[in-house]
Amino acid sequence: MLQPISTTVSRDHNEYMKTERLKHNGGSVPEAKDFSICALKIMDDCAQKKCLRGGLYFFNDRLCQTQDGEIALNPKCQVPHDFYGPNINIQAVVGQNGSGKSSILELLYRIINNFTFMLELGMYRNSSAEKLFYVKGLHATLYYLLDGHIGTLVADGDVMHFHYDSYEQHLQFEVLNSQGPYKVLTQELDIHNEVVEEAAILTPLRRMAEVSRRFFYTIVTNYSMQSYNDQDYYDEKTYKEFVPKLEQGKGGKKQVSKVVVEREEGDVWIRSIFHKNDGYLSPIVLNPYRDEGVIDTYKEYRLSQYRLSTIFIQAEKKGIQVIDDYKLASVDYTYDPWAVEIKFKKLYLGKVRHDSEWMEFSDVASWHKDHRDSIAYLLLCELGLDELDFTKNIIRDAALYMVYKVLSIASKYPSYYKYEDFGNLESYFQGGEYYSKHIPSLVDAIKKDKSHITIKFRQAENFINLIKRDVGLEREFNGTFTFDYYQKKLEVYGLIKKSPSNLRELTKILPPAFFSIDIKLKKDDEATISLSRMSSGERQLLYTCGTFIYHIINLMSVQDSRRVRYRNMMLVLDEVEICFHPEYQRQFISRLRDMLAKFRFNKYCSICIIIATHSPFILSDIPQQNILYLKNGQCVNDNVSVNPYAANVNDILHQSFFLDKTFMGDYALERMQKLLSDIESYGKKKINRNIEKLKQEIALIGDKFLKQQLTALLTYKETLFNHGQNIDKR
């Protein structure tokens, strides 16, 4: 098997792993560390720099370049590390349209993407997980600071270098350029052979686990319709992993050997870093999800409802106000019969024939009882669901949803690589000794998994257990009910002992995903309104914050120190002011910072926020030292004299956004220039407008000083004219 050529050096590695094992076996969770993205160095031969110039771009003043050209800690750093609170840093990238803001950020994403590709090369990935593409011709270096140590990630064409403190990774690969058949590369792997399994599967995962403790996870939001469209990246040359096709053999043998080849038409690197189904393995995700540039607004709405319901419920319990002037009235749930059926239609029904007939969802409930060797029936038995009353639709859907989640987990996540065959399209209907043998271990592994991967499974399990304890509840859950009612039932029947203390615990006891959600809020003494009826700006604020919180909760759910576990987060908000009123822009940083702190994410996570913005109100919350100023693709920090922090908005517009001409619109400027010309010419032989029209336009002017000056000038001209003075001769 061809794997990346790598060299790893780690001083005191054994001691480090001993510490990690201690943490895993009951030791305390480590406190968060100070973390910030500091600089980006772009080489002249970088193929993706677009309008950017070669050289260094500093995001803050934490690092500096020494006289000998090295990057080192800056002894003159002015912004305290806890300026925004412990373990929260906020930075900005500003400049006019076309100045290079998007280019800077996308270079960061490419570097992270390429690094991940290298780390995962040769690692077994489930078929439903997105495959990464390596961007060719990338020559740039990312510098970050974590716990006082400088981390560097160097992209040098087909080579990657990673260094943090005493830990190093040097990674490169061999390229298969042949256009012919790929012969000697086909290799079977017996996944039940522990020696082979250790070498071929777990080694890359352990390498990633080690890196994750020294690296960071990147969460990006950009709701602009023009951003991250596949078509914009089609011309970028990439590599891809090539996996020779090998049919499933007896005994669970799988193809895992991979090599690097030239990408095919349609392979676009950015497509793979949206929703990846990899269990937060690859350390970057873009939001919202785009399918060939298209955002499914309905799907995003449902996702946001789910994420925000958790936030509002927990905020209400903790006395935290999520959004000004609004209090939570209730979170209502309604049974959605279509939710489970559509999942089966996508995965099984209409794609698989049974007895020469297309299977319909209505047949599923009765079918499995006649096929007691099928995965479906075996799973129902193993989960203790086979004796439920399937004539009740909500009970049938709950049981089938749990079966679906087991198969879905098995097919998607690398940690369940042994069970990938359970997630194939036909697997619901398949049977046999192989499947019956491994179903107990699969279910046992899922029940022991406390991470985000199994949250929806646990939600459905709680619901089923409620029905088992009181069949009469089926009628009540067929309608609409509140979360408070649901939680009380869980407590009454002993399924939870106490109210959850944090967001991560709360997600486990929410009603399952086949219930639609309606968040109802109350403003002062007014009637309750649904979240869907709030303004676009209010919802955009909530969606943005909800996205970050959702991903952070999922990342924090990975507690096993031996797994890939990120605790350092880079949050990127690109064009964040979309839909925001200036007042919301003015409050945004304070609200985001407060939300992260109030939910105590910064206690166990290190958070660095990068904001690309055109808003002076947002920039007024950020010291000059934490801002990267761009103009015509160059860093121009030295040319900005006004510190935007707590500064006048007009000064910020002039200096930080390079608004050199004026603060008024171009059309108004043209009108003012013509108005001044007409006033100057008043009384001459050629009069463009009479005095009443001139006075009428002056009255429309909003700036008091300008209005006073133009009024005074017109009065002067009018006085001269009325006294019969020949203005033309003056």
Beta strands per DSSP E along 427-585: 480-482, 515-523, 529-530, 568-574
Question: What tokens were used for 148?
Answer: 């006082």
Q: Rounded mean pLDDT of 209-214?
A: 88
Work out the number of other CB atoms within 10 angstroms of the CB of residue 663. Answer: 11
Q: Provide CB contacts within 8 A for 250, sequence distance 6+.
A: none
Q: Rounded mean pLDDT of 556-578?
A: 84
| Backbone conformation region of residue 109, classed left if phi is above 0, alpha if psi is from -120 to 50, else beta | alpha
Q: Does 401 score more than 80 pLDDT?
A: yes
Distance CA 563, CA 561 (A): 5
End-to-end CA distance of the chain: 93
Question: What tokens were used for 92?
Answer: 């900005």
Q: State the pLDDT confidence band at 26, using cuts at 50, 70 and 90.
A: very low
Q: Any long-range contacts for 318-324 (C-beta under 8 Å, 24+ apart)? A: 318/598, 320/595, 320/598, 320/599, 322/542, 322/545, 322/595, 323/538, 323/541, 323/542, 324/587
More reliable by pLDDT, 703 or 221: 221
DSSP 8-state class, residue 583: H
Distance CA 643, CA 619 (A): 10
Q: Rounded mean pLDDT of 111-126?
A: 82
> In DSSP terms, which residues pair with 631 in a beta bridge?
634
Distance CA 712, CA 705 (A): 11
Position 259, amino acid: V
- CA separation, residue 34 to residues 84, 487, 601 (Å): 11, 37, 13
pTM equals 0.78
C-alpha gyration radius of the chain:
30
Assign 313 to helix, strand or coil.
helix
% of the chain exceeding 90 in pLDDT: 28
Instruction: Tell me whether residue 201 is exposed, middle or buried, using C-beta atoms within 10 angstroms of its C-beta: 0 to 12, 13 to 18, 19 or more.
Output: buried
- CA separation, residue 614 to residues 101, 374, 414, 656 (Å): 11, 58, 41, 9
Assign 272 to helix, strand or coil.
helix
Q: State the pLDDT confidence band at 225, using cuts at 50, 70 and 90.
A: confident
Judging by DSSP bridges, how do beta strands 634-635 and 627-631 pair with one another? antiparallel
Q: Rounded mean pLDDT of 291-310?
A: 85
Q: Rounded mean pLDDT of 601-621?
A: 89
Instruction: Tell me what pLDDT residue 144 has.
Output: 97
